[in-house]
Every structure is written in structure tokens, then in C-alpha cells.
Amino acid sequence: MHLDPCSIEEEKPDYSIVQERVHLHNNIGNVAHIHVKGVKYMDLVDSLGINDILSSDYKAILNGTEVADLLDTEIKAYDSAILIIGDMPNDVLINQVTQEKIIESEKLVENCGL
């Protein structure tokens, strides 16, 4: 996860808006950009507008380990999380974003476009 603040100074972000606290880094579909500390995975789900998945049975993998309370967990730098709806495939960890991939995406200029 990318934790650096946005460098755009024209507007002060309104952190009461969840998308201002967390969104996809440059709209890359597998790297979140966190603007403030304390952001939880539930905030990311809310930011993406996919709250309806919470009514389905789901499993969560955090840094290679299945966890029961992912949505209540604070997102930390270089975390890799997978949310699975339905049956968990045997090769699920193949889809886990590596720390190297996150570092590579951090090198891209953040345009903070939502």
C-alpha cells in the first residue's frame, strides 16, 4: 500500500470523504493509495463502492495468511490483501501483489485523480 500524501497543493483534501483517504493509486487496480493513518480495509471497500460484497460469504488473505477480521484491520505499508467471494481457488496466492510491484507503482507520479 502506498502511504505518502498527495503533493497537489491547490486544494486541501476533505478527509471526511472516504475516497480522499484511500483510493486506487493512479487507478491501478491492485495498489491502494492511503492519504492518512488509520485507514482500514473497510474504508477501501467503501471507497471502491463494493460494499454489496459484504452480504456474500467471503474469505480474506492478508500477507499470505487467511484472516477473519480483514475489514477491521488497518492498512499498513506493503500489505497485500486478497478478498475472495465464493470458493477459494488453490492458486489464490499467485494473485497476491508483491512488495516489489507496490514499490514499482510508488515510483509513478500520483495524480490523485478519482
**What pTM did the predictor assign?**
0.71
Amino acid making up residue 28: I
Q: What average pLDDT does the segment 79-97 reach?
A: 78
**Cα separation, 16 vs 98, whole angstroms:** 30
Q: Which residue has the cell 490523485?
A: 112
Helix and strand element counts for the chain (H, E): 3, 5
Reported confidence tier of residue 76, pLDDT bands at 50, 70, 90 = very high
Do residues 48 and 80 make contact, with C-beta atoms less than 8 angstroms apart? Answer: no
Q: What pLDDT, on a 0 to 100 scale, did the predictor assign at position 22?
A: 80
Q: What are the residues facing 81 on neighbouring strands?
A: 62
pLDDT per residue as tens digits for the range 17-43: 777 778 776 666 677 777 889 999 998
Q: What pLDDT, on a 0 to 100 scale, did the predictor assign at position 75?
A: 92
Residues 6+ apart with CB under 8 A from 78: 1, 99, 102, 103
Q: Which residue has the cell 507520479?
A: 109
pLDDT per residue as tens digits for the range 53-70: 778 888 898 998 999 999
Domain coordinates of the chain in residue numbers?
A: 18-98
**Cα separation, 101 vs 85, whole angstroms:** 24
